[in-house]
Amino acid sequence: MHGTALARAVTVFAVALRLGLTSFGGPVAHIGYFRDEYVGRRRWLDETAFADLVALCQLLPGPASSELGIAIGMTRAGLLGGVLAWAGFTLPSAVAMVAFAYVSSRLGTADLRWLRGLQVVAVAVVAQAVWTMARTLTPDRRRLGIALAAAVAALLLAGTPGQVAVIAGGGLAGALLTRHVDEQQARPVGVPVGRRLAAGALAVLGLLLVLLPLVRRVVTSPALAAFDAFFRSGALVFGGGHVVLPLLRAAVVAPGWVTEPRFLTGYGAAQAVPGPLFTFAAYLGAVEHGPPGGVAGAALAVVAIFLPAFLLVIGALPFWALLQASAALRAALRGVNAAVVGLLLAALYDPVFTGAIHGPADFGLAVTALGLLAVVRMPAWAVVAITAAGGAGLVALGR
* Least reliable range by pLDDT among 31-45, 68-82, 103-117: 103-117
- Residue (of 191, 160, 159, 165) closest to 74 by Cα position: 191
Sequence ranges of the domains in the chain: 1-179+194-357
- Residue (of 241, 274, 247, 275) closest to 263 by Cα position: 247
Residue 110 confidence (pLDDT): 44
- Are the CB atoms for 318 and 198 separated by under 8 Å? yes
* b/e map 367-391, b = 16+ CB within 10 Å: ebbbebbeeeeeebeebbebbbebb
Residue 160 confidence (pLDDT): 57
Residue 150 confidence (pLDDT): 92
* C-beta neighbour count of 113 within 10 angstroms: 13
Q: Residue 50: pLDDT band by 50, 70, 90 thresholds?
A: confident
- pLDDT of 188 higher than 60: no
Position with higher pLDDT, 104 vs 374: 374
Q: Is cis: bond before 318, omega within 30 of 0?
A: no
Q: In whole numbers, what is the pLDDT of the chain averaged over residues?
A: 83
Q: Residue 162: pLDDT band by 50, 70, 90 thresholds?
A: confident
**What is the residue-wise DSSP string for 284-320?**
HHHH-SSSS-HHHHHHHHHHHHHHHHHHHHHHHGGGH
- pLDDT of 109 higher than 50: no
- pLDDT of 187 higher than 60: no
CA distances from 285 to 129, 222, 224, 294 (A): 31, 11, 12, 7
Residue 103 confidence (pLDDT): 80
Positions of E strands within 66-169: none
Return the top range by mean pLDDT from 13-17, 241-245, 328-332: 13-17
- pLDDT of 354 higher than 80: yes
- Are the CB atoms for 233 and 247 separated by under 8 Å? yes
pLDDT digits (tens, 9 = 90+) for 264-303: 777 767 777 888 889 999 999 998 876 788 899 999 999 9
pLDDT digits (tens, 9 = 90+) for 361-378: 999 999 999 999 888 988
Mean pLDDT score, 208-234: 90
pLDDT digits (tens, 9 = 90+) for 249-265: 778 887 888 887 777 77
* Least reliable range by pLDDT among 41-45, 146-150, 243-247, 369-373: 243-247
Position with higher pLDDT, 159 vs 152: 152
Assessment of whether the complete model's pTM goes beyond 0.85:
no
- pLDDT of 1 higher than 60: no
Mean pLDDT score, 134-151: 90
- Are the CB atoms for 85 and 19 separated by under 8 Å? no
Q: How many residues does the chain have?
A: 399
Residue 148 confidence (pLDDT): 95
* Least reliable range by pLDDT among 210-219, 308-317, 321-330: 321-330
Q: Residue 221: pLDDT band by 50, 70, 90 thresholds?
A: confident
Q: Is cis: bond before 351, omega within 30 of 0?
A: yes
Position with higher pLDDT, 28 vs 366: 366
